[in-house]
Structure 1
Amino acid sequence: MLAQPTDLGVDSTLVIEEGIASYYGRFFHNRKTANGEIFDMEGMTAAHKNLPFGTMVRVTNLRNGKEIIVKVNDRLPQNSKRTIDLAKGAARKLGMIQMGLAPVAISVLKPQGIARLMDYYEDDVPTGLRLRMYLKPIAVEKDTTVIFAWPFDPLAF
């Protein structure tokens, strides 16, 4: 059974995306990533479709509750069915080597991370990313004012 991020102690206000993680390794080892770094298959890095290079994210395996922190330094193709592609070393720490794929929650490390992403994307947030700020609890007061009543009496207003 799949856990919800909140069941695993993940702060839901920091979760920006959920989906399927995969990993890559030997074929790309020591080659350049999309941002120009040399890929280390044992590193703690990831490829993502849209997140800015250098973004640090927490990836939580929703099957076993394990979590890691990775840096985005590579790109996934826009038509990929995967949400994030992890370096093999990161995937090993997440406990997903055997299966090859894992359902994950991706979250920023601090609320300021969401603010930075909102500034980065301005009004063009990619589909699938949830960027919202809840710095304070939202209080809602219930308005009990009757606006219309039946039968309608226009002289009552």
Structure 2
Amino acid sequence: MPWRLARQTETPTRWGSSEGGDPGADGGGAEARSVRCECCGMAEECTPTYIGRVRERFQGTWVCGLCAAAVTERQAREPALSVAGAVEAHAAMCERFNSTVRLNPKLSLASSMRDIARKSGQHRRRSIDGAGAATATAPSACGGDKLARAASTCALPYV
């Protein structure tokens, strides 16, 4: 699979010109090496200094730039979530994505539709619970002889 084909470089490459570039430009660690994201598996070439800063920020875990943005966004949405928790949640989501969508897109579409239907049902149940218990009324245009909800939840106009 293409996202797992990248391999570690055996010989580090130098940034800059063929004469050595500027070795002090990034704090002395001018040798680039390949490192793999622990969430999505994508490989990037980075300097050891940069790798150290990223691992320090994400508590010892190397994450690529895209995953770092996703983890930061998740923390913004859920402030109580720790960095390690956000990285772990994102890694689980990436693993689920790579094991379903990439392997069988049709199955992924079916499971996504199931999830949408499940969330919609949960939303309906919450709105019924919030509006009060269902009451028995005369047959409505959308409910038939079943227990009808409040008239405001009926999609069809009252006749």
Higher strand fraction (1 or 2): 1
Higher helix fraction (1 or 2): 2
Q: Which structure is richer in relative contact order (CA contacts within 8 A, separation 6 or more)?
A: 1
TM range (shorter): under 0.3
> Normalising to structure 2: TM-score of the pair?
0.24
Q: Larger Cα Rg: Structure 1 or Structure 2?
A: 2
